[in-house]
């Protein structure tokens, strides 16, 4: 390699794929990156991360997020990208929890639009509490009346009975 920048590009390219590479220690480096990502994403996305752990999906979802590449340099922005991807998940509970966490934690300029109407079959605050206590929210009973989640004019998230 001619210079440090060329070496850094070579390493980034080699670690950005699962393909065999001539880079010595690439497997250990890939493992280290995955472990770092798994630990740090749980810090910035604790609610969704815990739900994914409860459902046995966390490692695979972190791997899929890493495989997308193009990560922002800010850990919080990367966490928001992780949540935004999961907000499209086919598992409705995972998607709703990811969007709720993103809506609660994103700075004003990065706040996502909420579905209109955004109706939950369980109380979202009870869902969050169940996850925090280590329980899958699928174990919660359905609300007697569906719950509407919306953003108040001041920006705060709120709920109301949808019935």
Q: In this predicted model, what pLDDT tens digit does every residue of 19-61 receive, in sequence order?
A: 666 667 767 766 777 778 778 889 999 999 999 999 999 999 9
d(CA 22, CA 54): 38
Min mean pLDDT across 9-18, 70-79, 105-114 is at 9-18
Residue range(s) defining the domain that contains residue 110: 4-161
- Render 34-90 in DSSP notation, one character per residue: HHHHHHHHHHHSHHHHHHHHHTT-HHHHHHHHHHH----SSHHHHHHHHHHHHTT-S
Reported pTM: 0.81
Q: In this predicted model, what pLDDT tens digit does every residue of 105-147 receive, in sequence order?
A: 999 888 899 999 999 999 999 999 999 999 999 999 999 999 9
pLDDT for position 127: 96
Per the structure, the count of domains in the chain is 1
d(CA 39, CA 3): 32
């Amino acid at each position: 390699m001619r210079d440090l920048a060329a070496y850094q590009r070579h390493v980034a390219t080699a670690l950005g794929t699962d393909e065999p590479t001539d880079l010595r220690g690439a497997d250990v480096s890939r493992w280290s990156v995955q472990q770092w990502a798994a630990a740090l994403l749980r810090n910035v996305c604790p609610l969704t991360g815990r739900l994914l752990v409860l459902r046995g999906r966390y490692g695979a979802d972190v791997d899929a997020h890493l495989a997308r590449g193009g990560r922002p340099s800010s850990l919080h922005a990367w966490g928001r990208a992780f949540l935004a991807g999961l907000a499209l998940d086919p598992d409705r509970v995972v998607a709703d929890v990811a969007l709720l966490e993103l809506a609660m934690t994103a700075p004003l300029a990065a706040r996502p639009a909420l579905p209109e109407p955004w109706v939950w079959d369980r109380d979202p605050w009870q869902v969050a509490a169940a996850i925090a206590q280590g329980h899958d929210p699928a174990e919660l009973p359905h609300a007697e009346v569906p719950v509407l989640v919306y953003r108040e004019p001041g920006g705060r998230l709120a709920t109301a009975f949808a019935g």
